[in-house]
Every structure is written in structure tokens, then in C-alpha cells.
Amino acid sequence: MEDRNLELFRQYNIKIYNTYRIRGAFILETDKGLKLLKSLESSKSRVDFENTVLEYLTVQNYPYVDLYVKNYSNEIITEDSAGNKYVLKNWFPGEECNLRDEADIADATVNLAILHTLLREVPLSEEQLLHNTYIDLMEVFDKRNRELKRVRSYIREKEKKMSLSYVI
């Protein structure tokens, strides 16, 4: 384990038994359950917004919420000595929905319906609504679709190059 990570871990009230490296983050086995440590990729206001939503879901007894864990300073965002920012979240073991299993799809649909119903009632301030919701969803969807198309094209080109290299 790197010294940088130890420096981060000391800022939380948890005892760590084991760590696993995953895509851009660490899974921690702790005395308080599984946790996910990852670098911060958004603004403080976005994290505060997400925390408001996640705390609301927790109060509503919605299961398996990846609520942020606060450090000893009662902050969500933790910095290392180099100024890099991180967040720690509750984490849960699980499997993705099997799209070939009708029961899995039905369970996921019910879960999504419950989530949508609860999210309609989240008490948000005007400022949170202004800075964290999109007025023109079609514009957002178009942007995301363009990103996905670029990624798909990139992967297709990689596959063509890889298949050509095997032929030569």
C-alpha cells in the first residue's frame, strides 16, 4: 500500500483490514463495511448536492446507498499532502442485472420505479436546483450520444488495427 493512501486512510475513523485496487479507485474492507476511495472528479457543490440526495434516500430507508463518509474534520472531501482531493463512500458487493433473466429485469424495474418516486421528493434549495439540473435535457442527451459515438468509432478503429496486425 502506498504511503499516500495511508495518509488518506488516517483521516477517517475506520480500521482497514484489506484494500483492492479497481478501475481508478480502491475498495477497502473495514470495520464499518466495504468502502470505496476514489479521486474527486467534480466540484464541491456537486458533491454537496449528491450528498443531500444520498442522505435523503438513506432517511427514506432506501437500501444500498453509496453515501459519502465524512473524515475526522467532518468534511466529505479529503486532501492528501500533494493537494489531490478524494472522497470515501459506502460500498456494497453485488452483481449487475442479468439482461437475460426476466426476474432480474423485473427486480431492477421495481427498484428503479421506487428510486424515481423517492427522488421526486428530495428537498433541494433553489441554488442546488439551478446548478445541478439541466434545463434542456435533449441537449444533454445529444452531447452524451455524440460522446458514445466517438467512443464506438475509436473502439472499432482499434479493433480493425488489431485484426490487421494479426494478418501481417
Instruction: Write down the pLDDT at residue 123.
Output: 85
Q: Tell me whether residue 103 is in a domain.
A: no
Number of compact structural domains in the chain: 2
Residues 6+ apart with CB under 8 A from 29: 16, 17, 18, 19, 20
Q: Give the bridge partners for 22, in sequence order.
A: 25
pTM above 0.85, yes or no: no
At residue 92, does pLDDT exceed 80?
Answer: yes
Q: Tell me whether residue 114 is in a domain.
A: no
Last residue of a domain, one of 39, 68, 96: 96
Last residue of a domain, one of 78, 96, 114: 96
Q: Tell me whether residue 153 is in a domain.
A: yes
Instruction: Write down the pLDDT at residue 71.
Output: 94
Last residue of a domain, one of 77, 96, 115: 96
Domain hosting 83: range is 3-96
Q: Which residue has the higher pLDDT, 7 or 168?
A: 7
Q: Is residue 100 within 8 Å of 47, Cβ to Cβ?
A: no
Question: Quick one: 87 and 149 in the same domain?
Answer: no
Query: What DSSP designation does 64 have?
Result: S
Instruction: Write down the pLDDT at residue 108.
Output: 92
Question: Quick one: 11 and 60 in the same domain?
Answer: yes
Residue 163, burial from CB neighbour count under 10 angstroms (0-12, 13-18, 19+) = exposed
